[in-house]
Structure 1
């Protein structure tokens, strides 16, 4: 990692396109949040990933689980733990790694070993999970079309809050205003303002919807980052963020960015 208290953005966008990766963050060399762009970003280094915390079951957040296992099957020496809400784990098992769409790696042994390639672990909202001596990750519920959560990643009493896909920011506001250790917040902005109805129906945000909710926050002493922009509309969305940002100073994320917190 570039900095002791930083995470790397492996994929920053809301859908795949040439040169644009979907959601994934590397919080330390063995732990990722979401799996939208692990293969292209990490290549063979993806064999070091031991834990993936999923926000939800949509394809742009899980797709590279399949490809990092397929490409580097013989090189993996440790089981890959897939963590998520019970509904997310169920969806991945039944609809993705199910021996129909892709092999069920939870029934396949690591090359030359007795352990299985994948282990599924259900997580609970609000529970603090220790990922190293000085690192924790805590899921919190978000507002999307399927069961979904964001994560608070904490290292040495500093935290970054990653919402992933969400519409309402009520829970985010409640949490961040009661936890001053959170110094950075990553929020989505998927659509341009002329697509407001689609954003609401699919439980995503436009720049207008995003800043309308942010302006209700009592706290503004944190760094604000924006991701999950749809590449096709990115120039229009960038312009609209400038129009609606007001007092905020957001940074729009790109693949390969580092966030220090």
Structure 2
């Protein structure tokens, strides 16, 4: 499997500051932030599945535009996966005919442009020999992490989370974990803000990594614009044996 970074920033502020969106092979999208806008039309048309970690705007903002752009030219609906709470939020607050049309009913409910599928934490979806499993995460809204399994190796993307013992336990249960993409939104100077918003900062990340019994490559996502350099410097001091690296747009991880 190939995991391509379309956007991994915790905010906007220039061409390279695109929010969370990751393309798996050419047909699966993990989160749908502004990074989706980096894809050409033909690439957008090939996306059949979207797995959403949680319903915050920087992770879902371009999903409505994606479905609107390609829906009429597809032969089957795009499937949007998420926890029951995440899908409820998307239905109630985004695809509600006020903020955006309900594309699960366009052109009609028998032939929609988009369909929702509830995915429980702990549940696995099989897609052409690939497996995608929802793992627990802890954020200000209901959230999930995802484990991608090619059969030869695994990658875990945490989405947005603070220190989460249940997620750490789930990570430690993966036998062939090669890559861990983990958020660190704030520097240690913003520790109180990280705690209040249920994000990680370098000191919290250090505790997170120390609790791992596996040794994947660690990639940092969701750095806040204007603070990324400082945050990565602090991670470099506290990251221990993992030596985490900063994820960048266009980067591709294979497993």
- With the shorter chain as reference, the TM-score category is over 0.9
Alpha-carbon distance in structure 2 between the residues aligned to 1:76 and 1:38: 21
Indicate the larger mover: 13-22 or 121-130.
13-22
Output aligned runs, 1:219-238, within 5 Å: 219=214, 221-238=215-232
Alpha-carbon distance in structure 1 between the residues aligned to 2:110 and 2:89: 26
Residue 98 (structure 1) aligned with residue 103 (structure 2): no
2:170 maps to which of 156, 172, 175: 175
How far 1:232 sits from its partner (Å)? 2.2
Alpha-carbon distance in structure 1 between the residues aligned to 2:178 and 2:164: 17
How far 1:71 sits from its partner (Å)? 3.2
Alignment deviations for residues 155-193 of structure 1 (CA, whole Å, 9 cap, x no partner): 023111111100023123212222222221111000111
Unpaired segments ≥5 residues, structure 1: none
1:31 maps to which of 21, 28, 35: 28
Alpha-carbon distance in structure 1 between the residues aligned to 2:173 and 2:110: 45
Counterpart of 2:155 in structure 1 is 160
Counterpart of 1:125 in structure 2 is 121
CA RMSD of aligned residues (A): 1.7
Output aligned runs, 1:1-261, within 5 Å: 5-19=1-15, 20-44=17-41, 45-109=43-107, 115-132=111-128, 134-219=129-214, 221-261=215-255
Unpaired segments ≥5 residues, structure 2: none
Alpha-carbon distance in structure 1 between the residues aligned to 2:223 and 2:35: 18
Alpha-carbon distance in structure 1 between the residues aligned to 2:110 and 2:14: 39
For the residue of structure 2 that corresponds to 1:247, the secondary structure is helix
How far 1:74 sits from its partner (Å)? 3.7
For the residue of structure 2 that corresponds to 1:171, the secondary structure is helix
Alpha-carbon distance in structure 1 between the residues aligned to 2:225 and 2:54: 21
The 3 A distance-change label for structure 1 pair 90 and 249 is same
Alpha-carbon distance in structure 2 between the residues aligned to 1:216 and 1:116: 44
How far 1:77 sits from its partner (Å)? 3.2
Indicate the larger mover: 172-181 or 197-206.
172-181
The 3 A distance-change label for structure 1 pair 104 and 177 is same
For the residue of structure 2 that corresponds to 1:212, the secondary structure is helix
Normalising by structure 2, what TM-score? 0.93
For the residue of structure 1 that corresponds to 2:10, the secondary structure is coil
Alpha-carbon distance in structure 2 between the residues aligned to 1:258 and 1:147: 28
The alignment of Structure 1 onto Structure 2 pairs a total of residues equal to: 253
For the residue of structure 1 that corresponds to 2:32, the secondary structure is coil
The 3 A distance-change label for structure 1 pair 88 and 213 is same
Alpha-carbon distance in structure 1 between the residues aligned to 2:212 and 2:117: 34
